[in-house]
Structure 1
């Protein structure tokens, strides 16, 4: 496996991203970067990004949640952000991403985790929580699901999958802008492009759409079904926080609210924005996280 590492100079002076870097090897020769803000003895809040973003997506949410007394950790998935990037699309699989992420959680020995996840952060985070339930105390999902391949995917996803696989042009900043209602500044667009100095660094981003289980018999369909069986008995708090303008995941929150016991009676909310609600409604999203943790902090 050929591993690429983005030059740190490309991340200099990013707007609203003052966080000190932290790194951890999650496999031999494979380094994961993560943000780690707030008191080390605070309850951990793990914020998982998706496709094709990185921890920069949570830059407006990290400070208020950390200031409320929590330890906020936002990793860059392998292939993204400041983390190492295997150079071939074939180097990536759903199970490998899970193994890398589980290694990170286990090496940091995180417990009592509040999971905040969106997009592929949900596909990975919900599986991770179902497979390691003893480490998680609550889950907050925004614009994300855990597909098993048993229901048809939206046409817009099929188009996106074909584009990611075949287009010679893969403009990460513009892709994030397409999923965001507000207009991102040139500096913000450049920040999303920063991890990818050339096309060979984008294998992880191109791989993700092909890894989603879209029909019965897809790789990881059975594993996701097994995770759902755990979630259907999940009685710890489970909160959905979807936006009103995401054509891919809209309506998915109702499925989770119905099937997951821990979702019953929770303060589910719909925020304004597109797919990347961390860009469109970060203050409101952060407030939901803080409110969910308030009773624990008071205790």
Structure 2
């Protein structure tokens, strides 16, 4: 009896094929997460003019790329315009963004405003520039959006940014607040959306690498050390290393708020909880005055 002829072994999958498959899976995951955020928070509706704020960083590149993909099959019609604010930072490569945006055929506009000189003049050397820089940048973008009739302003903050901001406010500003996926500006004129609200920063980094976005580093504030936000980010990174999945758990917690389990009487009616009768409850002044009286009596007795 003839011996069976062994079948040839399958050739190992090439590195390029494996990377492509992983990149396709990642792109699908990002489209799903961005689409879900848009639906969960009603970020985009029919007829919207969406101004996508493009900084030249990985986050805004990824946001623009995924929104353009979703736009092709979206259940509503909306337009996209990429807008960049050229803050006149030294050695800023002005050609990079226009060349990239033309290559992908997207409508875009570059706003030129020298906020760099303002920030450099006002903020003492060694102090963090982020706060003033952010206010000036926001003002320029809001003004442009109002002048040109954009109905939504899309920013590239991701899931980790939202969690980071929550702890930043908790530790340094003593308040439970964060960076919502959708908000109305203080003047009521602008609706700001964050389509990457469900997306991990690590996934954005991998996506940016796979897509080879022409990243432009921020030399104004990105190089500053010892920022409060950087401290919180470092803490969260260590937590995630010690307990993988912790940041995702905290991200989900931001969407599951229980006012009765916190301590804000403006969000929950603690005064009526378990109250007997209709008589008005004494206020804090009455209780404090009572405490002071008892303290005086005790001192006299002593």
Q: TM-score, normalised by structure 1?
A: 0.35
Q: Which has the larger radius of gyration?
A: 2
More strand, by proportion: 1
More helix by share: 2
